Amino acid sequence: MRIRGGLRVLEKRTAVYEVEVAGNKTVLGAEHPPRLFPRSLCHTSVYAWLAVEKFALGVSCYRLEQSLETEEESLDRGTMCRYLEELGATLGATVVEAMFADARDNCHVLSTDATGAAIQPEPSADGRRQTCKKGHFFTIVADCDHVLFHYTDSHSSDAVKSLFKGFSGHLQCDASPVCDILDRGVPTLLPEADDDERLSLVGCWAHCHRYFFEAAITKHRSAIEGLKKIREMFRVDAQFAKLQPRDRKRRRATELAPLIDDFFRWVEQARRTEVGRTRATKAPGYAHNQEQELRRVLEDGKLALDNGARARAVGGLWGAARQGRCAHAYVIEQYGKFRSEAVVLLMADMAAKSQTKRNASAWLVEHREFAEPVLAEAARGKSGVAPSAEKALKALSKSK
């Protein structure tokens, strides 16, 4: 007999789970597992897609709405905003809080920085317009393992102490005075001076470099020497990047420590020779005040010279804020207005990198008459800027 193909039910079996309750047999139904987003019509993958597009790639909800319309999908930006708010409230109370707890309890090094932002207030009851209030976003990189963002209403010692309460490792940050309470403790006249939870502040050499760079671009020639010394430190330390922390600490003690000692001797001399309140006095003053924190990179091989990981983490947010403008183009636009030795050396460094080569090389060609003598002098030296200066000088000669 010929039987047509297809699905056939040969035998139907139904599993019955019986339990005995008070002498009676009954069937207990399993409870539904808790839903991550109750009463939501969208799958959790939609939430993940919205978060990545909005916060990782910097695409606005308006653009996402337009993109979905081209695919004949309907999801308005108002609904997207509500989904993102619900996502943030859910993950912030579960996953993100667990990441914070893990960072405080187990991480060895935290790199952090804060940036201010204007926060739009809610509409008033009488409909009048209100001024924006000032808020602060903290970026925290935990052992280069995960990146955390935290919002506070005020950039104060109490907010910082609450954020890092319980952490006893190394905290790498700038020289903000609100962080001093973490390392030096609460003054004895105030209550709650808990010395057991005190952590160790680590200075950022990139912040120190920035002060000397800002002095150099305003044509304070004394800052050029400080820039060269700091760049030489970064060049030497880059050779230890692939070493184990124990070996890196040993190499730093023999090769990097003499450079740091020489730098701070020069700083003391510069503070005596420079007078007035200028950028040329502000830079060595910053280095002098932060000497203890800046030297701590020699104590632990796991510490970096700067908290550049934090800057790279927040770079995506800055890129979204500039609506797609390249960060290196922004740097060239801002610093390219100055004709100084520091700017020429910066452009030489950027010309040596593939992603910034085109714009930086164009700037060097445009300012060839001023740039060539500076590059020639730097190429003859033995500092960390010599390789990039020599390469930029050869490129200028070929462009003639």
Greatest mean pLDDT among 234-243, 373-382, 387-396: 234-243
Check: CB of residue 169 under 8 Å from CB of residue 108: yes
CA end-to-end span of the chain, whole Å? Answer: 91
Residues 356 and 278 in one domain: no
User: Using 50, 70 and 90 to split pLDDT, how confident is the model at 21?
Assistant: confident
Which structure tokens are listed for 46? 């939609």
Residue where a domain stops, chosen among 160, 177, 202: 202
Residues 171 and 215 in one domain: no
62-66, 78-82, 375-379: least confident range = 375-379
The SS3 call for residue 189 is coil
d(CA 51, CA 80): 10
Identify which of 88, 171, 174, 380 has the alpha carbon closest to the alpha carbon of residue 183: 171
Check: CB of residue 279 under 8 Å from CB of residue 85: no
H helices of the chain, where?
A: 44-51, 61-70, 77-93, 95-106, 157-163, 180-184, 205-217, 222-238, 245-251, 257-273, 279-289, 291-295, 308-321, 327-335, 341-351, 357-366, 368-380, 386-398
> Residue 262: its pLDDT value, please?
93
Residues 213 and 281 in one domain: yes
Q: Quick check: is 11 in a domain?
A: no
List, for residues 322-334, the tens digit of each pLDDT value. Answer: 433 444 555 555 5
Q: How many residues can be counted in the chain?
A: 400
Q: Quick check: is 280 in a domain?
A: yes
Q: Quick check: is 101 in a domain?
A: no
Sign of the Cα pseudo-torsion (213, 214, 216, 222, in order): negative
> Residue 152: its pLDDT value, please?
85
Q: Quick check: is 305 in a domain?
A: no
Burial of residue 128, with CB atoms counted within 10 A of its CB: 0-12 exposed, 13-18 middle, 19 or more buried = exposed
Residue where a domain stops, chosen among 175, 202, 229: 202
Which structure tokens are listed for 318? 């800055």
Residues 210 and 282 in one domain: yes
Q: Is 247's pLDDT higher than 60?
A: yes
Q: Quick check: is 265 in a domain?
A: yes
The SS3 call for residue 234 is helix
User: Using 50, 70 and 90 to split pLDDT, how confident is the model at 192?
Assistant: very low
Q: Quick check: is 26 in a domain?
A: no
Q: Quick check: is 39 in a domain?
A: no
pTM confidence score: 0.62
Residues 142 and 59 in one domain: no
Greatest mean pLDDT among 90-94, 154-158, 178-182, 204-208: 204-208
Residues 209 and 287 in one domain: yes
Which structure tokens are listed for 168? 């006893």
d(CA 399, CA 371): 14
Residues 213 and 141 in one domain: no
The SS3 call for residue 116 is strand
Residues 209 and 276 in one domain: yes
Residues 294 and 220 in one domain: yes
CATH label of the domain that carries residue 115: 3.30.420.10
Residues 160 and 212 in one domain: no
Residues 214 and 278 in one domain: yes
> Residue 100: its pLDDT value, please?
85
Residues 213 and 293 in one domain: yes
> Residue 324: its pLDDT value, please?
37
Greatest mean pLDDT among 200-209, 249-258, 369-378: 249-258
Which structure tokens are listed for 266? 């020069």
Q: Is 316's pLDDT higher than 60?
A: no
Higher pLDDT, residue 54 or 182: 54
User: Using 50, 70 and 90 to split pLDDT, how confident is the model at 185?
Assistant: low
Domain that holds residue 254: 205-298
Q: Give the count of domains, the chain.
A: 4
User: What is each CA distance from 317 to 57, 98, 119, 176, in whole angstroms?
Assistant: 9, 23, 16, 22
Q: Quick check: is 219 in a domain?
A: yes
CA angle 290, 294, 299 (to 5 degrees): 140
